[in-house]
Amino acid sequence: MSEASTKLGFTPNEMMTIAASRALGNDDVCFVGIGAPSAACNVARLTHAPDVTLIYESGTIGTAPDVLPLSIGDGELCDTAVTTVSVPEMFRYWLQGGRISIGFLGAAQIDRFGNINTTVIGDYAHPKTRLPGGGGAPEIATSSKEIYITMAQSKRGMVEKIDFFTSFGHGEGGDHRQRLGIGTKGPTLLITDLATWKPDPVTKEFTVVSLHPGVSREQVQETCGWTVKFADRLEVTPAPTELELSTLRALQARTKAAHEGTANGKAA
């Protein structure tokens, strides 16, 4: 994939970030995860959705960072926010109050029904790897009106059975969310570095609806731990535009310069 994408003028990660950014609209109120979700949301804000409202877990509302934050506690978020509220208010009033249209999450492990693990790899008591944990993601996954997920594909990440349920997706599939009394839609979009996936309307199993430019069905299957289902009408994701690429690259360059400056003891 890397060779093909290089010839096309963009990397798989750039395609993933830009494809994810396109899913957001001006009217969205988006609860943003750190990392790839943050990059996608801010590219949307800087291109086609200037009025999108970005909210981070630390309580910052309407933030418009010039560089991508290192964590939810990054001062850049508070400095550029319209307002900052307490964390309890953020979760009780904004999130659990049904005011978030999109929760944008990343994942260390994900299964075919959009259940996410960001807690441990291996047995919980004796894990092979202890991950950062859920933070507010479990609440985001159940209280946001719908969930978008972005991650790079690998058999280690896209697995038949996740090692730990950090954030509930569609559970066992079908109407599992409804049977548990969860009234929100759950994961409605998964964007990887190879493809765009959406849940089947009935089974809720994620199905590939669009391949990114230069990607084959075989590449998607080779990097996924379950048997992949493809839509009958499989599309090709539109390649990044010059504006989208230049916006993402400029954002990443500013972020790199700012964070290196901080590491070297210089003013960012």
Task: Tell me: pLDDT of 94 over 60.
Answer: yes
Share of the chain above pLDDT 90, in %: 85
The average pLDDT across 148-156 equals 97
Share of the chain above pLDDT 70, in %: 94
CATH code of the domain covering residue 188: 3.40.1080.10
- The residue among 246, 180, 254 whose CA lies nearest residue 14 is 246
Task: Tell me: pLDDT of 25 over 80.
Answer: yes
The average pLDDT across 221-242 equals 97
214 conformational bin, left if phi > 0, alpha if psi -120 to 50, beta if neither: left
Work out whether the CA dihedral 240, 4, 187, 136 comes out positive or negative.
negative
Going by pLDDT thresholds of 50, 70 and 90, the confidence category of residue 75 is confident
Domain count, the chain: 1
Task: Tell me: pLDDT of 124 over 50.
Answer: yes
**Is 90 a domain residue?**
yes
264 burial via Cβ count (<10 Å: 0-12, 13-18, 19+):
exposed
**Is 182 a domain residue?**
yes
Q: Buried b / exposed e across 143-161, counting CB within 10 Å, b at 16+?
A: bbbebbbbbebeeebbbee
Two structure tokens written together for 183: 């009234």
The rounded distance, in Å, linking the Cα atoms of 33 and 135 is: 10
Angle at the Cα of 102 from the Cα atoms of 42 and 205, rounded to 5 degrees: 115
- For residue 57, indicate whether it is catalytic: yes
**Is 129 a domain residue?**
yes
Among residues 3, 14, 57, 89, which one is catalytic?
57
**Is 268 a domain residue?**
no
**Per-residue pLDDT, 1:** 43
**Is 93 a domain residue?**
yes
**Per-residue pLDDT, 126:** 92
Residues 6+ apart with CB under 8 A from 207: 197, 198, 199, 200, 229, 230, 231
**Is 99 a domain residue?**
yes
**Is 174 a domain residue?**
yes
Task: Tell me: pLDDT of 263 over 60.
Answer: no
Task: Tell me: pLDDT of 158 over 60.
Answer: yes
**Is 95 a domain residue?**
yes
Two structure tokens written together for 81: 């926010």
At 187, phi and psi to the nearest 5?
-65, 120
Can you give the residue range of the structural domain that contains 242? 2-263
